[in-house]
A and B are shown apart, each in its own frame.
Chain A
Amino acid sequence: MYQYLSGILTIIAINVTAVCGLTVLTGFTGLFSMGHAGFMSLGAYASVIAMLYWHFPFIPAMIFGGLAAALVGLIVGYPTMKGKMRGDTFAIAMLGFSETVRLGLSNIYPYINGALGISDIPRYSEAWVVTLIAAFCVYITYRYTRSKHGRIALSIRDEETAAELIGVNITWEKIKSFMISAFFCGMAGCMYACYYTFITPNTFSTTTSNNLLAAVVFGGMGSVTGPTIAAAILAMLPEMLRFVQKWRLVLYGAVMILVMLFRPEGLMGGREFSIKGIARWFRKIFSKLNRRAGEVSK
């Protein structure tokens, strides 16, 4: 039982870390990506190489994986952002990117064994360690989005032309968001590799990318806490639905459709989850009830 719970916790933590990155890119800068699994893959491979061949400890290897993904983010981001790619074009281009990563890794044999992948990765991803890391990531992402950097990203999402004409260097700001998203996904990739202890180029698939994007949209664009909660729910959902066995994925899809139907702006909209917010919410409901009671007594 303990093992089971700590397993779920680990998966949640990994998912949350990756979603933190995508929140900055999609929720705050307005760029939809269907290929961030590619960055998880790159981060996983880079950190595993650092651990196995250069004997990096866990945390430095994880940061190294994040930085490697961010570097590739810079190389991919520069031409795409310079070419003003966005919307569906950008989303599809990212799909192509993750496929390129997958096929590329499948064909490199020295060090990483091509399609066979790497096994015997040290199992560093203890539940409490990755949970702490994820919590830290949520915190710093929240801080970042409240900062000037985050507000500038948001201005691009809201009204790109106006942002540019007021002096925002939109190309650079987008590359920055892109690199940050790659960094978090790269770290999450490392955490994943150190939990399952083996990776192949197919470990991080289009489904992974889609789940990340779904968490951001479900949670609410322009919110950090919303996607965090959504990422946790989406990571747990397959487990919670295990009792229906083969209908699991069907139900998973149905839940997605229902959420989008009844809350198209996502769980939190653009707001953040806070105790104050909950108190306000309760107060609103109570005052409504009171009013109704008043009407009845009249």
Chain B
Amino acid sequence: MSLLEVKNLTIQFGGLKAISDVDLEINPGEMIGLIGPNGAGKTTLFNAITGVVDIAQGSITFDGKNLSKYKPNQIAHLGISRTFQNIRLFSKMTAEENVSIGISSVADYDIISAFLGLPNARKKDRETREKAREYLAQVNLLEYKDAIAGSLPYGIQRKLEIARAIATRPKLLLLDEPAAGMNNEETMELIEFIRNIHRHNETNMAIILIEHHLEVVMNLCSDITVLNLGSVLTRGNPEEVQNNPAVIKAYIGERRSRA
């Protein structure tokens, strides 16, 4: 059974159909790429899966559950986690605290224990802190644990956001342009980073990767879906996609219209 099944999905903003009649499927442990020119509806698709925009038509099923019945925070607890195109870290909090919100987004002790700093609360806090450090160590960010997230270098912030997302132990991870704004060297490093977290995780995590840099997707994903103007243009392996005239046209058309 597939982990996520998007069926005939349509998303509308007023008169604009940002997504129209899109189908998408991903199995546990898979990593698929999602590409397409600006405004193709990639981020909107992520927003629909995470429950922040309303579905006009169609359905999204995750792990056998119809997601339209769940609120965004409940969807997170079902096992979907994401990063954002524009980094959205808790910028005034430390790296460690960012990850620890991912580990338990619901306080695991009561308010009175919190006010009085009772031993059970302190013990739980200590456990969370230790776990957060484990995650940071796993992604080689331990040295930044006490740094304020907003003051970290851009590339590190991107990684920290991914670390925070996987700290929720998701079954499905959505990465929205993780390489945006990175130079070549940083991008190559990020590719290895993503490959690593995909291989070494406890939940057989599936990943959907949005990326403008084709070399990133081509490098990581054997199955790529191309969106254009809200619809699926084509899907296939990297060569098929790269040599598809329609894809080339969509990208070139974009470049022309921008010029």
Give the 9 A-B CB pairs with smallest separation, nearest first.
Answer: A167-B105, A167-B76, A147-B114, A162-B88, A148-B107, A158-B90, A143-B117, A140-B115, A168-B105
Q: B52, A166: Cβ atoms under 8 Å? A: no
Q: B93, A151: Cβ atoms under 8 Å? A: yes
Give bound CA distance, A151 to B128, whole Å: 12
Q: B111, A149: Cβ atoms under 8 Å? A: yes
The A135-190 residues at the B interface (CB cut-off 8 A) are 140-141, 143-144, 146-152, 154-155, 157-159, 161-170, 176, 180
**Smallest distance from the beta carbon of B252 to chain A beta carbons, Å?**
34
Residue numbers in B under 8 Å from A157 (CB-CB): 92
The B47-61 residues at the A interface (CB cut-off 8 A) are 50, 52
Give bound CA distance, A58 to B180, whole Å: 61
Contact with A along B90-103 (1 / 0, CB 8 A): 11110001001110
Q: A155, B90: Cβ atoms under 8 Å? A: yes
Q: B168, A155: Cβ atoms under 8 Å? A: no
Q: Which residue of A lies closest to B77 (CB)?
A: A167
Q: B50, A165: Cβ atoms under 8 Å? A: yes
- Interface residues, chain A, with chain B CB atoms under 8 Å away: 140-141, 143-144, 146-152, 154-155, 157-159, 161-170, 176, 180, 222, 270
A165 and B111 contact, Cβ closer than 8 Å, known pairs A143-B116, A147-B121, A222-B92: no
Residue numbers in B under 8 Å from A147 (CB-CB): 107, 109, 113-115, 117, 121, 125
Given contacts A152-B106, A155-B90, 20 further A-B contacts (CB under 8 A): A140-B115, A143-B115, A143-B116, A143-B117, A146-B117, A147-B113, A148-B104, A148-B121, A158-B90, A158-B92, A159-B88, A163-B90, A164-B72, A164-B76, A166-B73, A166-B105, A167-B76, A167-B106, A169-B106, A270-B92
Q: B91, A158: Cβ atoms under 8 Å? A: yes
Residue numbers in A under 8 Å from B124 (CB-CB): 148
Q: A140, B106: Cβ atoms under 8 Å? A: no
Give bound CA distance, A116 to B114, whole Å: 41
**Smallest distance from the beta carbon of A75 to chain B beta carbons, Å?**
19
The B10-65 residues at the A interface (CB cut-off 8 A) are 50, 52
Give bound CA distance, A168 to B93, whole Å: 16
A154 and B115 contact, Cβ closer than 8 Å, known pairs A166-B81, A166-B102, A167-B106: no
Give bound CA distance, A143 to B111, whole Å: 11
**B72, B84, B105: which contacts A152 (Cβ < 8 A)?**
B105
Looking at chain A's contact residues, the main secondary structure is: helix
- Interface residues, chain B, with chain A CB atoms under 8 Å away: 50, 52, 72-73, 75-77, 81-82, 84, 88-93, 97, 100-102, 104-109, 111, 113-117, 121, 124-125, 128, 164-165, 168
A151 and B105 contact, Cβ closer than 8 Å, known pairs A159-B88, A165-B82: no
Q: B52, A165: Cβ atoms under 8 Å? A: yes
Q: A149, B114: Cβ atoms under 8 Å? A: yes
Q: B107, A166: Cβ atoms under 8 Å? A: no
**A141, A159, A169: which contacts B90 (Cβ < 8 A)?**
A159
**A149, A166, A170: which contacts B164 (Cβ < 8 A)?**
A166
Q: B109, A168: Cβ atoms under 8 Å? A: no
Q: A159, B91: Cβ atoms under 8 Å? A: yes
Residue numbers in A under 8 Å from B111 (CB-CB): 144, 149, 176, 180
Q: Which residue of B lies closest to A179 (CB)?
A: B111
Q: Which residue of A lies closest to B102 (CB)?
A: A166
Give bound CA distance, A161 to B108, whole Å: 21
Give bound CA distance, A176 to B110, whole Å: 12
Q: A154, B92: Cβ atoms under 8 Å? A: yes
Q: B88, A169: Cβ atoms under 8 Å? A: no
Give bound CA distance, A201 to B73, whole Å: 41
Q: A152, B114: Cβ atoms under 8 Å? A: no
Q: B114, A161: Cβ atoms under 8 Å? A: no
Residue numbers in B under 8 Å from A158 (CB-CB): 89-93
Give bound CA distance, A163 to B164, whole Å: 11
Give bound CA distance, A106 to B238, whole Å: 74
Q: A148, B73: Cβ atoms under 8 Å? A: no
**A146, A166, A169: which contacts B101 (Cβ < 8 A)?**
A166
**Smallest distance from the beta carbon of A168 to chain B beta carbons, Å?**
5
